[in-house]
Structure 1
Amino acid sequence: MPVQHSKASLHAFYADALRNGQSTGEKLRAPVPARFLTLLASLPADIPRRALDLGYGAGAYTIALAEAGFTVVAVDQAPAEPLLHRLSEYEDLAERVTVVESLIEQYPIREDFGAIVAKDVLHYLSQHDVEVLLAQAVQSSRSVNLHYLEVFTAISRTDAHGVQIHIEGEARYTPESFSRALERIYEGWDVTVRWDNHTEQDARSRRTYFEATRATVTAARRCPAPVGSAAMNGRKAA
């Protein structure tokens, strides 16, 4: 039977890692990949220059969005101090970022954000919370928007003895169930999903303790929503 870890223990682990600048399997302090910077550079000029970073972690994507000219709301239950300290090292960036310490599933999305980023965080939520959160983002969209998501599916975690580990309340999507959720939520948007296999290994023993299929999702609304309509009919899957 799998061992279940509480969300409280997960929060404590990441809070400690961020405060002490420690590395984690996700490499929280790694630079933003070039493909994301290319995506930012290709955004249309009329996109609203306000962004939401769900799950800011060490702040790499928050900083990239601010450097690209966005005013950013960064939301995470992780401690804000490490991100605020990091922002202070960049001239004029801190004034463009609002940091909100909150569970991301409890943050109400009621604003038309030009860009929304959620990297390596949604899989910790329940499927219900993931879909409510993304549906709020879609319903609040009134203009040209971009959502960039990296979501782990088909997750397998094991401890040093090979026993399966589950996180309390996590989504546990399969690629198929996550694809179906995207189809329901992003009706009328241009959606591209890239799938790749992801593994994490212990640095000393080289034991693989985490395996998953990662979905990198780019969902774009190309034209403003009609007046009085929260979404457009039809969907083009790229």
Structure 2
Amino acid sequence: MRIIRPQSSVKSFYDHVLKNQIPIEENLTGCITPDFQRILDTYESEIGLRAIDLGYGYGNYSIALAQKGFKVTAVDYVAPDYFKERLQSTAGKENITIIERDLNLFEPKGEYDVVVCKDVFHFLRRSKVEELLNVLIEKTNKKGWHYIVIFTDIWRKSNDGNEIVIENEARFTSDYLVDLVNYFYRNWKVNLKIEEYREKDRSGKEDSFYFKANRVTIMANNI
């Protein structure tokens, strides 16, 4: 049996997890990835460059960019209160502008040098993901970077064994996404990595999972 859950259930879940700093396998509070650190290392202290972080979550990527000297637009539909509180004691806070917005309704403005979207796009409508990619590529300056991590081939299981689907989510396959990346980023230098991702359920069994997917990492440079 397939259970379809509303988009609002995703927001409620992440609001609760982030506000209470609840540890989950997705490790929202973890450090930025080595892949993203390599992108940051291509810059020195870049005063005046602009970045956008779509689905900022706990805020580590926005903070890392801000402390590097970027002016950062941080967008998410989770309540921003916890992030604003965190920023009170964070260096570089003056470089971050927070926008509370559902990405399905968001229209990027201005131009950017770095675009980040980690573990978010799979929740959006497929047409919106394609629209955002197209717009963000057009709005990214020469030598700019995109760092995008997206789940494909997603399978979720409820506690009673039913399949769970989020309404209107993209439901990309890896093959479709690779074709999409090759099309949209055809004039960019692209490094693409696909890894298996699994989250164990609470049964304690070694091979029992409630979430399976492929995690696709896109590192694209507008050369």
Q: Provide the TM-score with structure 1 as the length reference.
A: 0.87
| 1:86–1:216 distance in 2 versus 1, CA, 3 Å | same
| 1:211–1:218 distance in 2 versus 1, CA, 3 Å | same
Identity of aligned residues (%): 32
- Say whether the 8 Å CA contact 1:84–1:94 is kept in structure 2: no
Structure 1 CA distance for aligned equivalents of residues 3 and 47 of structure 2 = 45
Counterpart for residue 210 of structure 1: 211
| 1:114 and 2:107 correspond | no
Counterpart for residue 74 of structure 2: 74
Structure 1, residues 132-175: CA drift from partner, whole Å, max 9, x if none? 01101012234221000000000110012221110010011001
How far off is 1:65 after superposition? 1.1
| 1:30–1:46 distance in 2 versus 1, CA, 3 Å | closer
Amino acid aligned to 2:209: T
- Say whether the 8 Å CA contact 1:114–1:146 is kept in structure 2: yes
Counterpart for residue 62 of structure 2: 62
Structure 2 CA distance for aligned equivalents of residues 44 and 96 of structure 1 = 16
- Say whether the 8 Å CA contact 2:48–2:71 is kept in structure 1: no
How far off is 1:39 after superposition? 2.0
Structure 2 CA distance for aligned equivalents of residues 15 and 212 of structure 1 = 23
Counterpart for residue 19 of structure 2: 19
Which range is displaced more, 35-44 or 129-138?
35-44
- Say whether the 8 Å CA contact 1:118–1:148 is kept in structure 2: yes
- Please, what is the CA RMSD of the aligned residues? 1.8
Structure 1, residues 3-34: CA drift from partner, whole Å, max 9, x if none? 11110111111111111121233111111123
How far off is 1:183 after superposition? 1.8
Structure 2 CA distance for aligned equivalents of residues 126 and 48 of structure 1 = 33
- SS of the aligned residue for 1:114 comes to strand
Q: Trace 1:1-238 onto structure 2 (pairs within 5 A).
A: 1-43=1-43, 49-91=49-91, 93-202=92-201, 205=204, 207-222=208-223
Amino acid aligned to 1:159: S
Amino acid aligned to 1:169: N
Structure 2 CA distance for aligned equivalents of residues 14 and 202 of structure 1 = 18
Structure 1 CA distance for aligned equivalents of residues 70 and 174 of structure 2 = 32
How far off is 1:46 after superposition? 8.1
Amino acid aligned to 2:217: T
- Say whether the 8 Å CA contact 2:117–2:147 is kept in structure 1: yes
- Say whether the 8 Å CA contact 1:120–1:151 is kept in structure 2: yes
Structure 1, residues 186-227: CA drift from partner, whole Å, max 9, x if none? 2211111011000111356354111101110011101xxxxx
| 1:156–1:47 distance in 2 versus 1, CA, 3 Å | farther
Structure 2 CA distance for aligned equivalents of residues 159 and 202 of structure 1 = 9
How many matched pairs?
Answer: 221
Q: Provide the TM-score with structure 2 as the length reference.
A: 0.93
